[in-house]
Every structure is written in structure tokens, then in C-alpha cells.
Structure 1
Amino acid sequence: MVYSRQMLSVILVMSLLAMMLLVTPPKADAAFGDRVTVSGTQFMAGGKRIWFNGANTPWNSWNDFGGSFDAAWWSSHFQALHDNGVNETRIWITCNGETGINISTDGTVSGATAAHWSNLDTLFQLAESKGIYIMATLISFDHFKNNHANYMSWRNMITNNAKIDSFVNNYIIPFVNRYKSNPYLWSIDLCNEPDWIYEDAANGNLSWDVLQTYFAKAAVGIHQNSNILVTVGMAMIKYNSDTASGAQGNKISNAALQAKVNNAAAKVDFYSPHYYDWMGQYWGVPFYMTPSAFGLETSKPAMIGETPGNGTSGHTLTQDYENGYTNGWQGVQPWTSNGVDSQGNFNTLTPATNAFRNNHGSLVFPS
């Protein structure tokens, strides 16, 4: 067959286009699955707004990573969450510090076990394959609680600047560098409910000064090595606010953290306060208030980091999600997706996440 010059040109162009498609196939879900960023008071993925139709899956087996990690369970649970509209969950990377992280009695952190890293490698691979963004909570007030063998190691770490540096340099920065190319690690929660470390004698009654120094140093380490967002899961608005009733000041404000480390990277990128019904009599129910009315300053996004998975008093969880969205919160993470206690479970969570996904699909899985 003889082709005209014009037909040969068309064939050549079509061949080149086909080759380009083979080399760079179009990305499915071009926004969902991209790195999460902040724009004003909202979260973005791939240039599209994303709202975290989330959960807490803090552990399957206490101290999973480097301990009794069950990859099959996490794979199945991530799939079930995604199938029911959940796009994100919060996981405790260590539960009380007894497993995974290598810490000496004087508080020096030298790294982590091979099993810890191997289990986390699998976890983040599963998160990516199943389409679940992860908020990684590094430590909790439980690390400092006097009900386990090595609690003094953690108190020694956080009350000594050089030991904090060892934690940041030998664990947090390696953690960040190991997983920063995976956009499904969207944020790091530096500590679960540090309020109780300050308030509770069983947790040491440690000062805000030492806690803020840790937050500041860790935030600088994360921000200087990655684009992963940073938060602190505060137990009460009391310590996350300058304006709420009885507030003790926003302990994680830019000014508070940069007073400890004089660096613009010493900051959290968004707020994630916790709410349970005992708090309502003091500060109101955040789902039915704007973040500002609840007591937060308004320069950053705000989401609910923990809340009862059974819904707040007098409301269904479905109502809590929808009203939280209407009032300007950027996500909700109920406790828990897997029933670690009586606050909630998969069956109480998923009616709410399905309803929100059905009503706001483009915010949950933007494309």
C-alpha cells in the first residue's frame, strides 16, 4: 500500500502519542493520592480540595510495629474503610514506647529495630495500595505513664535538650526520609494528648516548656526534610486556645513554639483538637460551632482529631460529620474504626462515612 505524505504524517503523530501514553500513562484519581497541602484554612490534594472523611485506627495489636504486626489484618481493614467512604485514618506508630524505638535508660534514642521499619514499610505500602491517607502519631502520653517498665527513659528524653535532639535526629528524621516519597503519609501528629503529661502525676506532671521544646525541634526536623504536614493531637481546647472559657493559652501557636526554637519551621500546619462529651459543659460541642467559636485561631485548617465513634450526646455521628463540615471543620477522625474500646467501632463509624461520601464525593475522593 502506498501512503501519501499527509497520511504518513498523521501515522507518525499517532505513533508518537501512543508511545507517550505507554511511557507516562494517565494517572487515575489525579487529585486523590497526591501530596496533601494547605491552602488558607483548607486541605488540598493535587490542586483540589480534600475533606478528611476519617477515622482513628490507633492499633490492631498494641505496639504493632516491631511487635505483633498483622499485615493481612491491616490490608483487609484499609480495604473495608475505603469501600465505606473513609479516605484517611490516624495510627499510633508506637503506643507506649516499649516496642520499636531503641531508647536507653538515660533517654538517648539511637534508632529503631529492623522489625519496626519492616512493618512500617508494609503499612505504608498497604495505605497507598488501598487508598487510605495516614496521620502518623509518633508518641502518646502513655510513653510517660508509670504503668510500664521504661517510662523513665521517655521522661529522661523529653526533659533534656540533647536527648530530644537524639530522638529527632536518630528516629524522626529517618522516619520522615524513609516515607516522605509516599504521599499517603500526609501528616505527623507529634504526640497524642500531651495535656495529660502536664496534668497527670502518673504521667510525670512535666512542664509545657519541655513539651513545647520537643514539638518545636521535631517540627523543624520534619519541615526541613519533607513536605509532610505537622500537628499535635491536643486533648482539650483549654490548652489549644487563647479565647475559650478558662483557656490556658495556645500551647502550640507559632509564637509559643518559636520561642523555644527560633526558626520559622517550628510550627504546626493545622490544628486537630480532641472532643469527648465530658468537655461539652465547659467549651461546647465543636461540630455545632465554628473553629473560631470553639476557641481556635483561624490562620490554619482545623479538624477533629478524636471524637466518640458513637456520635456526640444527642446527635448521630452522621449529624456530627455533616455539621462539622458546614461549620468549617476540615475533617473528622472518630475513635475508633476497629472497636479498641466502647467509644465506637466499624459499625458505628461507617453509616456516617458512607453518608458523607454520598453527599460530598468530590471532597472525599477528589479527581
Structure 2
Amino acid sequence: MYLLSQLLLFAVAAVDVLHVHGAPTPLEDSKPSELDRRIDTTSFSRVSTTSKRLFQLAGKTQYFAGTNAWWLGHLPSNQDVDTAVAHMAATGYKVLRVWGFGTTNDASKSSGDVYYQVLNSSGQYFNYNPSNGIARLDYAVAAAQKKGIQLILPLLNNYDDLGGINTYTNVYGGDHNGFYTNAKAQAAYKAYIKFIVNRYKSSPAIFSWELCNEPVCPGCAASVITKWASDTSAYIKSLDPHHMVSLGDEGWLTATSAGTVPNYDQSHAYTGYNGVDFQRNLAIPTIDYGTFHMYYDLWGYNASWGSTWIAQHNAIGKALNKPVMLEEYAVKDGLDRVGIMGPWQETVVKKTSVAADMLWQFGTVFPSGSRPLDDYAVYWNTSTLAVLGAQHVKDMAAKAAVATV
């Protein structure tokens, strides 16, 4: 979510942290993952061969509903992870979107936080500290695997939270927009991709890899991100040809790609200002499915526009014969969330062949007292989650796996 930095209420309870003495483990050092490394090819997620617009999940071609839990690999407590995963599994979720990035430029200022990578003038390092390093993501992946849940792992953040594009440009120069063509920054980013993909590619808990959470290049030609997405997705496929790759974008359209554009303020969704062309990027051969997000109020639209946005992306997916996923959608707590989001879910279920949707975001009460949540969280064991979560999971699973719309 693009306002994450303004919405985080991360008040982590006190924990004993084993601080890293000296530099973290350098890039060239190899440490085996604690995960089970056996390859179970029956559990790999692939685009279905029977319908290119749907996914295979647990060996079945089907529609599904999932949720976002960006915080899962950043929780310092095993008990918190276990509680959250148990609650999401009980809701019926089989796919979660969890941040696969965590970069800092100054480990001394992040000693109490979970981070996976350090980038600074002395080099690129991975953090193997068992209390606040990659072991935290290891545990999240393993916990998901035990419950038969798969993860979408974005490998970069567009924003500054928990290690975004600017953690690369701070070291390698240039500004945010220059990241996409900065050779040194891209080399470091690919080194991180290699680290994460090789670590987890044999785990049946991986659903797909994602290039970035909401990448944009404001004012750039769409070709900048398209070329970057093409190059980077091809690199991931060279490391792991078995799993799917997505861009992770918000799905920005142009007036041409959207077809008949409704008469709304078009400063956000249809001008191409953000340097993202959903249709053009979905056509990349090494991008397996399209992602789009929806925050109607933050973007200046009305709630009913949400169903139009869904239908437009469905139409593009149909034209390109690829799955599309409504990867983030939310309404703030205090509003009629069932009344607003219910019609969007009905559009997905009854009026389109959108393959999946992912509620932003799942909320629960953690045993440690941690609170990595925002005003959009839909909490475990509430009537709202019973409708927008558990019931919607059942409705999507029951939908016939025939992409005709």
C-alpha cells in the first residue's frame, strides 16, 4: 500500500535482540537455509494449462481469495507468526502476500528491527542474525508451509518503508526515477533477488515472486518500467523457471488501454503519469499474471468506480489471455466496509474472470503486543472478516473454473 509510511503503527514489544557485532555477513558468504530444501513439484504454482486465465492452487485450477500480511516476516516473535498464520488458515486463506524485502543503509540504527540486507559505502551484506535477520523470513515461510499456505513475495518496495528503492539510490547515486536504469543499483538489486530466490525456490510455500510493491516512475515514459520489468522478470526466470513472476503494480491504465473511460477525474488512473502501462507490462512474456490495486478514496474516485476498475483489468487480461489479480483493495475502519467492498467482491465473483483478489490487510492481536497494522486492517474473529474474508473465500472457491467473461 502506497501510504504505508504514514499508516504504520508498529509498536513492537520489548524482545531480547542479539545485536550483530561488526559487519553483517557479507554477500559472498553462503549460509544454507533452515527450510526443507526438497523439491515438491506438485506444489509449485503455475498458470493452468487448461485455462490460461486461472491459477493452479493445491493441484486444482481454480479462483481464490487471499489476503495481505506484509508484516509476517518482520515479526520478531515465533509465537506471533504462528498465531497469525493459524488465524489466516482458519479464515480459509491459502495465499498470502508477504514482504520479501528488508533493507537498511545503517544497521546501527536498525538493530531493534528486522532487516535482511545492508547497503552502504562499504558494500552489500546479508543479515543472518537469528533474532532480526533473514531467519525471521525463514520462519514465516516454514510456518506457512506447515499450514499449506503459499506466499507471494515482493522483492523491493517503491517506498521507503522497510527498504525501498531509495536504499539503493542512497548508495549508488541518482534519484528514485533513475533507479530503473542505474547499472550499479540494478546489479545490487539482482544480487538480492538471487539471495532470496535461491533461498526459497525449492519450498512449496512459494506462490510467486514479485518485482516490486507498487513501482512507479512519475513523469517517465512507460517504456522505462516496461524494459526494467522485462529484464528483471527474465532474470528471475533464469534462477527459477518453476514459479510465476508478477510486477506488483497498481495497474495504472491509459485512456486507450481502458477502452471507454468513465467521466471521472483522470489525474490518477488513466493519464500514464506514473510511468506504468498495465496492458503493455502484462504483455511481457516473463510476466505471468497482472496485478492491480484499488484505493478509490485516496485516488479521488467514488466507491462505485471500483467495479469499473475491476472490469477494465479483467478485459485486458482476457485480451492477452493471462490471469489478473486484484492484489490490494481496502476501506478504512469506521466506514461501511461490507457495504462498500461487498459489491467489488460480487463483481469479481459474478461479473468477471478476475482470477483472485487479495484483501488489504489481515489483522489480528499478537501475543507479544506487536501492532504492525494500519486503519485498513480487517481483524480476525470479527463479523466483517466473516463476510469479506471467510465467506468470500468460499464464494471464490465455489466459482466454476471456466473463464468465459
What's the TM-score, normalizing by structure 1?
0.71
1:272 to 285, 291, 298: 291
In structure 2, relative to structure 1, the CA distance for the partners of 1:103 and 1:149 (3 Å cut) is closer
Instruction: State the partner residue of 2:146.
Output: 129
In structure 2, relative to structure 1, the CA distance for the partners of 1:281 and 1:287 (3 Å cut) is closer
1:113 corresponds to 2:127: yes
Instruction: State the partner residue of 1:14.
Output: none
1:341 to 370, 374, 380: 374
Contact preservation (8 Å) 2:303, 2:340: no
1:42 corresponds to 2:25: no
Instruction: State the partner residue of 1:11.
Output: none
Mark the runs of 5 or more structure 2 residues left unpaired by the alignment: 1-39, 106-114, 262-269, 365-372, 401-405
CA distance in 2, matches of 1:82, 1:236: 28
CA distance in 2, matches of 1:181, 1:354: 30
Shift of 1:71: 2.0
CA distance in 2, matches of 1:75, 1:287: 38
In structure 2, relative to structure 1, the CA distance for the partners of 1:86 and 1:135 (3 Å cut) is same
Contact preservation (8 Å) 1:318, 1:355: no
Instruction: State the partner residue of 2:82.
Output: 75
1:153 corresponds to 2:199: no
Structure 1, residues 92-137: CA drift from partner, whole Å, max 9, x if none? Answer: 123565532232349x7x3521133322221111110022211111
Give 3-state SS (helix, strand or coil) of 1:320's partner: helix
Give 3-state SS (helix, strand or coil) of 2:287's partner: coil
Structure 1, residues 340-361: CA drift from partner, whole Å, max 9, x if none? Answer: 2112322333432221344455
Shift of 1:32: 12
1:229 to 224, 244, 256: 244
What does residue range 90-109 of structure 1 map to in structure 2 within 5 Å?
Answer: 90-94=97-101, 97=104, 99-105=115-121
One-letter amino acid of the counterpart of residue 198, structure 2: N
Aligned length: 312
CA distance in 2, matches of 1:287, 1:124: 35
Instruction: State the partner residue of 2:392.
Output: 356
2:185 to 139, 142, 163: 163
Instruction: State the partner residue of 2:257.
Output: 242
Which structure is larger by alpha-carbon Rg, 1 or 2?
1
Structure 1, residues 172-216: CA drift from partner, whole Å, max 9, x if none? Answer: 122111111112211112111113xx23xxxxx676555444423
CA distance in 2, matches of 1:274, 1:96: 24
Contact preservation (8 Å) 1:231, 1:268: yes
> Which structure shows the bigger proportion of residues in helix conformation?
1
Structure 1, residues 54-80: CA drift from partner, whole Å, max 9, x if none? Answer: 1111115xxx54xx5222211111111
What's the TM-score, normalizing by structure 2?
0.65
Give 3-state SS (helix, strand or coil) of 1:44's partner: strand
What does residue range 247-262 of structure 1 map to in structure 2 within 5 Å?
Answer: 247-248=271-272, 251=277
CA distance in 1, matches of 2:160, 2:343: 34
Contact preservation (8 Å) 1:56, 1:334: yes
Segment of structure 1 superposing worse, 224-233 or 244-253: 244-253
Contact preservation (8 Å) 2:102, 2:117: no
Instruction: State the partner residue of 1:19.
Output: none
Give 3-state SS (helix, strand or coil) of 1:102's partner: strand
CA distance in 2, matches of 1:146, 1:47: 34
CA distance in 2, matches of 1:105, 1:300: 42
1:321 corresponds to 2:345: yes
Taking only the aligned residue pairs, the percentage that are identical comes to 17
One-letter amino acid of the counterpart of residue 339, structure 2: H
1:176 corresponds to 2:209: no
CA distance in 2, matches of 1:74, 1:306: 21
Q: Which has the higher contact order (CA 8 A, sep 6+)?
A: 2
One-letter amino acid of the counterpart of residue 315, structure 1: G
In structure 2, relative to structure 1, the CA distance for the partners of 1:163 and 1:215 (3 Å cut) is same
2:160 to 139, 143, 164: 143
Mark the runs of 5 or more structure 1 residues left unpaired by the alignment: 1-30, 200-204, 259-263
In structure 2, relative to structure 1, the CA distance for the partners of 1:240 and 1:308 (3 Å cut) is farther
